Each structure stands twice: as structure tokens, then as C-alpha cells.
Amino acid sequence: QQTLEAAVASAPQHISIYDLQVEEGTKFGRLYTPGEAPLPDDELSADLYRMGSATLAAAGYHHYEVSNYAKPGSECEHNRVYWRNQQYFAYGMAAASYVGGVRLTRPRTIGKYTAWVDELAGGHSGGRGSGVVEQEPASSLEDRLLDTLML
């Protein structure tokens, strides 16, 4: 509660609140020791979520996404693009774009990314020309509808 009140007191236009998830196979998952800093159980997490939502609503923030709250007119447009299944273009290491129903990603490690940039700077793009490293096939209509419902 104190952390959230301090955040509200700083008067940002947008606040996101998330329930920390420790995922196996991630660096944090390997570093985390449950007994040293236990996470809240599902019931406490739900209570904290409701408390956070009520605190933010009382401070004039509206709840426009699962974890996002904003003052009127300050919603994150970048996030809303995802929710509307609109195209977006991303640039940089590990950047993922979504164009024509296809997800495109750049190299995910600094070594591969700098090699890729050097290759492009030299006029070589591996025959692709687009700088795309990985490409997921276009989603089926059913998958896109499910994504829309889940988002």
C-alpha cells in the first residue's frame, strides 16, 4: 500500500501494476529462492490487485487494461495497438514487429545483432533485404481471434 501511495503521490499520468511471476528456465527463476522471499499466494495476490485498483481509482486513474491505469487521455498507445491487432514495427536487438499477421524478429544476442548490422551496412542482407531474422507464419483466423479475446 505504501509503495502504491508513493507512486500516486509522484503524480504520473500512467501506472502499471503487475503480480510478480517467477518462470522456470529464466535467469530470475534460477536465482530466486522461495523461502528467502516468499511470493503472495493466489488469494493474497487477488486482494492486493483489488486494493491497488481501488487506490488508483480513488486517485483518478481509470483501469484500461489488465495491469494498466491512466489519467484520462494518457493511455499507452503502444499497448493499445496490440489490443487492436494493429501492425507495429520494431527496431533494435530482439525487436519484434507484427506486419500483415506475421511476427518478425531481429537477432536476440548482441553478437548476432552486431554481425547482422555489419552485414547490412556492407550491403548484404542474406538475400532477404528486410533484415528479418526469424519469421513466424501468419496466424490462422482462429488464432487471431483467440489472441484478441485473450488480450
Instruction: Read off the pLDDT of residues 14-49 as tens digits, 9 standing for 90 and up.
Output: 999 999 889 989 999 999 988 888 889 999 999 999
pLDDT of the residue at 127: 44
DSSP state of 88: B
pLDDT of residue 129: 47
pLDDT, tens digit, for every residue of 113-131? 898 888 888 766 554 445 5
pLDDT in tens, 52-94: 999 999 999 999 988 999 999 999 998 888 878 889 988 899 9
* CA atoms of 65 and 149, how far apart (whole Å): 13
Alpha helices in the chain (DSSP H): 2-9, 27-31, 42-58, 77-83, 110-121, 141-150
Answer yes or no: is pLDDT of 11 > 70: yes
The pLDDT, as a whole number, for residue 91 is 87
Q: What's the pLDDT score for residue 47?
A: 96
Residue found by looking up cell 528486410 in the block: 130
Residue 149 pLDDT? 67
Nearest to 151 by CA among 105, 102, 103, 84: 84
- Work out the angle at residue 46's Cα, subtended by the Cα atoms of residues 42 and 47, and round it to the nearest 5 degrees: 120
